[in-house]
Amino acid sequence: MNKEYIVTSRSNLVAKNGSHYANLKIMAQKGESLTISVWDMDENDGPHIEDIITVDMDTLKGIKFPKMGDFNYFRNSRHATPADVLYQLIPRPITKEVWDACLDQLVGWCHDQVLVDFIQGERDNLYEQYRNQTAATAVHHAFKGGLLNHTYELLHMLSGLYPTLPPLKLERCVIAILFHDYGKLKEYDENMEGTKYMYLMGHTYISAHVLHNKLNAAGISNEETIRIVHCVLAHHGKLEYGSPVVPCTQEALIIHYIDNISAHTYACDETANMEKCFALGTRIIKD
């Protein structure tokens, strides 16, 4: 029996012997996905994201870790169009209207005009930079625009939580969220591949460094700058997870927790029923 899948993400890699290969994630419907390896495949070879491939399901029976050679993916391979049902499985960046509505609500609760002016001066440019950028090559928000959607999710959660939280400085949270993954603009290139900056510096340092300089240039006080940059440095929560410091302010804790909610729930949603989600360290049950 043949079945059509759409390629939703792709990672181009190099084996120890120098040969190129790719890991593809393909989906037939929400919650039904396969991750397959394609050996001896140059980064310019298809299939690519948004391509539809035909899978011989009978051939795949009993294969625990399918490889592209297990079926003829060139058969009826084509690029998806909006008319295809599978096209709807490709995640898209949020609209500017949705981004603006969320930030307008948050800014409306803020009182520090200097920090509000900083937010207003950065929001449009960040939208344009983030809407074509991935948040990762795997695990969560691994698609063009994923960085925008991930950032928006944190802002949206903050807007829901803020009225119920003990007193905190909302402006610090908003700015730190806007910039917490800014370094991923350098970590990943236009093809969603990791760059040398991922290994030489990492996105947490890059994000904190850029934000620190921007806040200084805007005339923000040193004490306020330190508090905001701390939220960025601590957003992974633990030293073993890549944070150079652990959260030690209320604003930093909030950002760390909602960052995890966004990343982990996305990873769970993208994992098929009974499939192991390595980011969460468990199998996901959906039935």
Total domain count, the chain: 2
Distance CA 39, CA 23 (A): 9
Whether 101 and 85 share a structural domain: no
Domain assignment present for residue 286? The answer is no
What Rg value do the Cα atoms of the chain yield, rounded? 21
Query: Is residue 264 classed exposed, middle or buried when 0-12, 13-18 and 19+ CB atoms within 10 A define those classes?
Result: middle
CA angle 98, 102, 108 (to 5 degrees): 145
Mean pLDDT of 191-212: 93
Distance CA 130, CA 183 (A): 11
Q: Which amino acid is at 259?
A: D
| Residue among 239, 235, 227 nearest 207 (CA) | 235
For residue 47, whether the previous peptide bond is cis, meaning omega lies within 30 degrees of 0, is yes
Of the candidates 28, 55, 89, which is a domain's last residue?
89
pLDDT at 53: 87
Share of the chain above pLDDT 90, in %: 56
Whether 70 and 208 share a structural domain: no
Whether 120 and 247 share a structural domain: yes
Task: Assess contact for 155 and 177: CB atoms under 8 A.
Answer: yes
More confident position, 273 or 27: 27
pLDDT tens for each residue of 136-154? 877 788 888 999 999 999 9
pLDDT at 59: 61
Share of the chain above pLDDT 70, in %: 93
Task: Assess contact for 54 and 4: CB atoms under 8 A.
Answer: yes
Domain boundaries, position 39: 2-89
Domain assignment present for residue 202? The answer is yes
Whether 134 and 266 share a structural domain: yes
Q: Indicate the pLDDT class of residue 267, thresholds 50, 70 and 90.
A: confident
Residue 31 has pLDDT above 70, yes or no: no
Residue 161 has pLDDT above 90, yes or no: yes
**H-state helical runs in the chain:** 57-60, 96-108, 113-130, 146-161, 170-179, 184-187, 196-200, 203-217, 222-233, 250-270
pLDDT tens for each residue of 83-96? 999 998 888 999 99
Instruction: Provide the whole-model pTM.
Output: 0.85
Whether 131 and 110 share a structural domain: yes
pLDDT at 74: 47
Whether 257 and 123 share a structural domain: yes
